[in-house]
Structure 1
Amino acid sequence: MNIIYAEYNMYHNSIDIYTSAGYMLRIDCNKAEDYLITTPGSQCSLNALALDEPLEYARLYLDGTMQMWADAKDYLNI
């Protein structure tokens, strides 16, 4: 699956990924972050990541490494 691009959809609070095969994958940010343990700082970083680098946000979610990323953000911001 070749990804054409990804964008943040503010109307659905989701990341929309469009492929060259004509498929669209939508990741709901609310559901993706339901079970994450975040601080205000890491939550702000996640929001910025969704807006600025939606493909990276999607990769973290699909790889299951979003919690580790948020923990690292908290650790580095101390």
Structure 2
Amino acid sequence: MRTIFAEYNPQCNSIDVYTSAGYMLRIDCWEAEKDLKTTPGSDCVLNELAINEPLEYTRLYLDENLQM
């Protein structure tokens, strides 16, 4: 599955990933981050990553490396 692009959806607080096969994957940021151990600073970094680098956020989430 080849990714075309990803974007942050502020209405749903999610990352929407669109593929060349016509599929859309939606990652709920709240669900993805609810079990992480975070500080106020790391929360800001996660928010910045989701908004400005949604493909990187998606890659980290799918690889289960979001805590890092």
Are residues 1:11 and 2:11 paired? yes
1 CA distance for matches of 2:63 and 2:33?
14
Instruction: Quote the offset at 1:40 in angstroms.
Output: 0.5
- The alignment of Structure 1 onto Structure 2 pairs a total of residues equal to 68
1 CA distance for matches of 2:19 and 2:6?
9
Are residues 1:64 and 2:64 paired? yes
Instruction: Quote the offset at 1:63 in angstroms.
Output: 0.3
Q: Which has the larger radius of gyration?
A: 1
Local SS of the residue matching 2:6 = strand
Local SS of the residue matching 1:4 = strand
Instruction: Quote the offset at 1:48 in angstroms.
Output: 0.2
List gaps (5 residues or longer) in structure 1: 69-78
Percent identity at matched positions? Answer: 69
List gaps (5 residues or longer) in structure 2: none
Instruction: Quote the offset at 1:12 in angstroms.
Output: 0.5
After the TM superposition, which residues 1-78 of structure 1 pair with which residues of structure 2 at under 5 Å, given as runs? 1-68=1-68
Letter of the 1:50 partner, please give it.
Answer: A
